[in-house]
Structure 1
C-alpha cells in the first residue's frame, strides 16, 4: 500500500519483518506473534480466537420462516471480510429500474446499497470483541439485512447520537485492527461508518437504517430495511396496463428466463436443476428459483407447504406470457 517497508521486505527475515510491522513481540530468543498478527496473517485465526467468523444466513420466507441457508466465512480478517462481502453482493443485491414515460432517464435503486453493507460488516469486524465466542452474523431476508456483533458500542457513545450519525468514539476497542483495515482501504477509522451508512441509504431512497443495543451494550445490531419499491412489481410481465407514470421493470435476469423456458408442466426442484444442468442447490435457489418466484413468473403447486416432499413448480400466466414475447424484448434482463 505504498509503504517503504515493502521495498525492503525481501531483505528481512520473517521475524524482523514481523517486528517492523509490530505483529511480533517478546525477546529475540523467544519471539511470539501478537494477537493482531494471528488475526491478519494466520490462515486459521479461529483456532486462537474461537468464533472468529462471519455467518451469512438467508431466510427466503422471512426470519419467521422454516427455511434458511447458511454460509460460514473464516480465515485472516481481511480475506474473510472481503469474501463475505463479495458473496453477499453476488447473491443478494438486486437493482430495480423504474422507467418514466415523460423523461429519458430511468430511475435505478438497489434493494440494499452495497456501500452500506460494507460499512456495517467492516464496523462489526473492527469493533467486535475477539474474546467473545460469538460470530458476526449477517441475516438477510426479503424485508431487511441485519448485521449482529458482540459486544455493543462503547458506553462513551450515546445511542441517540449514534443513530443521528453524530457519535464520536473516545475509545477504540481494537485500534491495531483498525490500523490494518485502514491500510487495506476497508475503513477510514474516524467514526465515519455510521454517518456513511445513513448517507448511502438516503441516496438510494431506502428507509432509515436502525441501530440497536441493550442497556448493558452486550450486542450491536444494524438493520438495513429493503427499499420500499424493490419488492414491488406494479406491472407483471406480459400484462396489459393503462397509462402509468412509473413502471417498475421486473427482475428478469438471463438465469430467470432460462428457468422459465425450461419449465414444462409441473417440475420438482431436482427436475428443474437437472433441466438446467445445475448441481449447486444454493446457486440455483439464489439466482434462479427465488427471483422467478418473486417476479411472479412461477408458483408452487403446494404453496401452503413450501417444504413438502411433493412440492412442484409451474409457470404462472405471467411466466407463459414472458415466453411469448419476442426475443430481446424483456426490458428487465441483466446483460
Structure 2
C-alpha cells in the first residue's frame, strides 16, 4: 500500500527535513537497524523518519538518478526488514513500500516515532551482540549516552498529545472526503488506492488511528485534520480573530475560524489577504516614482499564524487568539515555546533551533501541505519579510514560566505628510484616518520638542481642499449641522450649558444626547472628569482627533484666505 506522502517531495527534502531522511544505495542491515531504532526513539519528537534504499547519498543528500535495486531483490529485502524489526526491543515495525523513481526500483521504510520508547538495537549482526539505544544526531544514528540517554529515558512511554488516541471519538468521526482531498493535494499514490481499500486500512496506513483492529480509535492529529468538527473532541481547537476598529479597544468585531486545522489556517490567511493587506504608496519629494510597500507583508503573517497552529498545545482548551489593530497584528497561543527556548533567546535576532517539538504529527502534515517550513526557519522568515517591506522589527514574547507565546507584527507606517489627496467615503473612514493621524502626532510629540499644535499643522499641511470638503459633507450627512460648530467653539474646555447656549439650545438631556454624545462616541470630544459624568465641574474638550478635524475642516481653509 502506498505511503501518504509525495515521493518526489520526500526524496528531494521538500516535505521532510534532511535529518529525518537516510539514503542507502544497497541493503546494509547493520546500519539500517540502528537507524530504525533511532527513528523509533525520536528523541526530539520530530516524527520519526524515512529510510530510502536504492539511492546513494553524498553529505546527507541523494545522488540522482537512483542507483536502484534489482527487481528480484525487493521481496527478499522486505522480508529482511521484518527480521530487523524483531531485533529491536520492544519490537518495532515500519511501513514498507516499493516505488519506481526515474525508472529505477527503490524501497522506502516509513519509520514513525514509536509508542514504547526507549528502543534498543544490537550493535552488530552477530550472535549475543550488545544492545544500545540509538538516536538521531544530525543525519547520523548514534548511541545515546549521558545527557541524551537521560533525555531518552525521560521519554519512556510518553507520546506527544497530537499522536495519542482520543477516547471520545470513533473511526466514524473521520471523514473519507477530507482524507482523500489531502492525499490528492499532496499528490500521494495512496489517493487512487483509497478509492478501493477498506476505510480502516486507509486510516491505519496514514497512522491516524491506533488500537486493536476490532476497536480502532482516531488519534488527535487525525481528528484535527480529518474530522469536520474537531472542536467536538478537542475543546476550543479553533482560531479567534478580534478586529479592532480603532485603538480604544471598545469598537470591535469577532470572527471564528473552525473546522479541520489546515482549513482554519487557510481561511484566516485568505481573510488577511483579501481584507487587511493593502499596498502603501509613499510619495517622496523630488522623486518621480513613489515607494510601494504593504501595510503588513503576507509572508510574515503566513509564517506567524502557521507557527501558532503548529506549536500550540491542543491539550489545553485555549484557542489561538489573533488581535487585529489599526497599527499591528497580535497572535497569541498557549503555552510558550518548549525549553530551552525562553524569553531571552526569543529576543536574539538569529535562527532558533529547538531540540524538542510539541506536535510532531501536526508539523508533518502542515509541511506536506506546504503550510510551514522545516525546523528553525520561522523566525528568520518573519524577520526577513518585515525587513524587506521596510516594516518595524517583529516582536516575539513569552514570560518566565513560558505560559504563552505572543507574536506582534507592526504595520508599515505611511508617510501621511506626503499625501496630497485623501478621499473619504464615509464616517468610518474619516474617523479611522483621524485616529491614525492622531497616533502619529502623539508618537512625534513624545520624541520632539515641538508643540503638539505645530505637529498637527505639519501633518495636515499638504491635504487638499477636496479632503476638507468631503469631511464637511460626511459630517453633515451623518451627524447634524451643529457638530462642526461644537468643535469650533471648544478652543478651551467648556461646560455643557455653555456649549448648548452657543448653539441656541436649552440645557436639556435630549440636546446632550443629540449633539454631544455622538461626538464623544466618535472620540472627537471628551469629558474632563470622565469617571463622574454628572459632576458639577464637568466640562467638554476636543481630543487630538477633534483638534485634527477642526484644523482640517475649519482652520485650513481660513489660513488660505
Q: Structure 2 length as normaliser, TM-score?
A: 0.44
> Does residue 116 of structure 1 match 2:300?
yes
Which residue does 2:374 correspond to in 1?
A: 189
CA shift in 2, pair 1:89/1:303, >3 Å: farther
Aligned residue pairs, count: 269
Equivalent residues in 2 for 1:149-164, closer than 5 Å: 149-163=333-347, 164=349
What secondary structure sits across from 1:43 in the alignment?
Answer: coil
Contact 1:113 1:204 in 2 (8 A): yes
Contact 1:206 1:228 in 2 (8 A): yes
CA distance in 1, matches of 2:249, 2:287: 41
Gaps of 5+ in 1: 240-247, 251-258, 269-299, 309-314, 320-335
Which residue does 1:169 correspond to in 2?
A: 354
Which residue does 2:521 correspond to in 1?
A: 305
CA distance in 1, matches of 2:517, 2:294: 30
CA distance in 2, matches of 1:316, 1:153: 49
CA distance in 2, matches of 1:150, 1:94: 30
Contact 1:238 1:318 in 2 (8 A): no
Gaps of 5+ in 2: 1-185, 424-461, 465-469, 480-515, 525-548, 554-561
> Does residue 266 of structure 1 match 2:477?
yes
Please state how far the C-alpha of 1:185 moved relative to its aligned partner: 0.6
What secondary structure sits across from 1:96 in the alignment?
Answer: strand
Which residue does 1:20 correspond to in 2?
A: 205
Please state how far the C-alpha of 1:72 moved relative to its aligned partner: 0.7
Higher helix content, 1 or 2: 2
Structure ID, larger Rg: 2
What secondary structure sits across from 1:86 in the alignment?
Answer: helix
> Does residue 68 of structure 1 match 2:252?
yes
* Aligned CA-pair RMSD: 3.4
Equivalent residues in 2 for 1:1-335, closer than 5 Å: 1-62=186-247, 64-100=248-284, 102-163=286-347, 164-229=349-414, 232=416, 234-237=418-421, 265-267=476-478, 302-306=518-522
Which residue does 1:271 correspond to in 2?
A: none
Which residue does 1:254 correspond to in 2?
A: none
CA distance in 1, matches of 2:190, 2:356: 29
Contact 1:206 1:226 in 2 (8 A): yes
Which residue does 1:295 correspond to in 2?
A: none
Which residue does 1:285 correspond to in 2?
A: none
Q: Structure 1 length as normaliser, TM-score?
A: 0.71
Contact 2:282 2:414 in 1 (8 A): no
CA distance in 2, matches of 1:249, 1:206: 25
Contact 1:237 1:318 in 2 (8 A): no
CA shift in 2, pair 1:9/1:105, >3 Å: farther
Contact 2:339 2:354 in 1 (8 A): no
Please state how far the C-alpha of 1:142 moved relative to its aligned partner: 1.2
CA distance in 2, matches of 1:218, 1:33: 28
CA shift in 2, pair 1:29/1:110, >3 Å: same
Contact 2:283 2:418 in 1 (8 A): no
What secondary structure sits across from 1:15 in the alignment?
Answer: helix
Contact 1:158 1:167 in 2 (8 A): no
CA offsets per residue over residues 64-91 of structure 1, 9 Å max, x none? 3311111011100000111011112222
Please state how far the C-alpha of 1:156 moved relative to its aligned partner: 1.4
CA distance in 1, matches of 2:392, 2:266: 26
